[in-house]
Structure 1
Amino acid sequence: MTKMDELITYLVNWGFDHGFGVTFTDQLPASLAGFSSQKDKAVWINTSWRKKPEYGFVVAHEMGHLIDGDEGINRYSSPSLSIKNEYAANVYGVKLIKNYAIRLDIEINNRTAFCQIFGIPLVLADLI
């Protein structure tokens, strides 16, 4: 199992522990990485999305929307620093991944390397 697979497994289990479902599908538009639905308490991840190294972050980001109580359908397309609820989901997503790394005693000394290992978009490195 790759580091990304292990991270995704951790995040899916974390979601289940918090009452959230996760579905992986290839039936979404190629431009859409994933989305979350507060009503369904669920996350959908597009397995056909072009940026496969970011899958783990997308799962964590969408979990952030559910934890934050963001209403409606929240679609992930690219990391945003300017939209309030997207920024908050980014912060929560990074926090989930950092907690995972800490549990495994993975050092967080280099933000860029950490982003690359866990598929966090580099534009979000300052959140680490």
Structure 2
Amino acid sequence: MKINDRNKEELQDALLTFAKNHGISPVLISVDPYYPSVSLKQSRKIIINTNWHNESEIPFSIGHEIGHLMLDDRGVIYLKSFAGKCSEEKPADLYALKLIYDYSKNRGDYFEDPGTFMQCYGIPERMAEATKALFEHDKDLYF
């Protein structure tokens, strides 16, 4: 099962509403498909590339950029070459994962395995171990 357009739009709307409710101003842009979304600490803005090459990951990107601001990162913009090495990227990824996981639970979704959840919500493959750990931690709860 892959995230469909309706579910993706609903999730994006929920994440953007969450951002606004927490004093974060989202700016949606359509640029080069490989230009990453960013967060700007000083102005509490997130710039989201709605033309991202992996369209199903756009909601995760929104959650990730929200995570940077909610976790009070230093606000440094990292180039693609450093993205995987930055100590602030993993916490932002985990924040996005938990935000989407909670959204799923609040909708009453139930997934028996983390892989199906990841496909349904456009969670990047790099989050497989963290998603598995999240499911293990919550294994006795139905969502």
TM value normalised by structure 2: 0.79
RMSD: 2.0
Q: Where do 1:13-24 residues align within 5 Å?
A: 13-24=17-28
Distance in 1, Cα, partners of 2:80 & 2:102: 24
TM value normalised by structure 1: 0.88
Gaps of 5+ in 2: 132-143
Q: What residue is the counterpart of 2:47 in the other structure? A: 44
Q: What residue is the counterpart of 2:13 in the other structure? A: 9
Distance in 1, Cα, partners of 2:80 & 2:121: 18
Higher deviation after alignment, 1-10 or 69-78: 69-78
Q: Taking structure 1 as reference, are residues 77 and 96 closer, same or farther at Cα in structure 2, changes over 3 Å only?
A: farther
The structure whose residues are more often strand, as a share, is 1
Gaps of 5+ in 1: none
* Contact 1:35-1:76 at 8 Å conserved across structures: no
Distance in 2, Cα, partners of 1:4 & 1:56: 7
String of CA shifts for 1:39-77, please: whole Å, max 9, x gaps: 111111112221111000000011000011112244585
Aligned with 1:2: secondary structure? Answer: helix
Q: Percent of pairs identical after alignment? A: 26
Q: Taking structure 1 as reference, are residues 44 and 113 closer, same or farther at Cα in structure 2, changes over 3 Å only?
A: same
Aligned residue identity for 2:29: T
Distance in 2, Cα, partners of 1:25 & 1:113: 29
Aligned partner (choices 30, 34, 37) of residue 34 of structure 1: 37
Q: Taking structure 1 as reference, are residues 32 and 41 closer, same or farther at Cα in structure 2, changes over 3 Å only?
A: same
Q: What is the count of residue pairs matched by the alignment? A: 126
Shift of 1:89: 0.3
Q: Where do 1:1-128 residues align within 5 Å?
A: 2-26=6-30, 28-74=31-77, 80=84, 82-128=85-131
Divergent runs of 4+, >6 A? none
Q: Taking structure 1 as reference, are residues 30 and 6 closer, same or farther at Cα in structure 2, changes over 3 Å only?
A: same
* Contact 1:37-1:71 at 8 Å conserved across structures: no
Q: Taking structure 1 as reference, are residues 77 and 56 closer, same or farther at Cα in structure 2, changes over 3 Å only?
A: farther
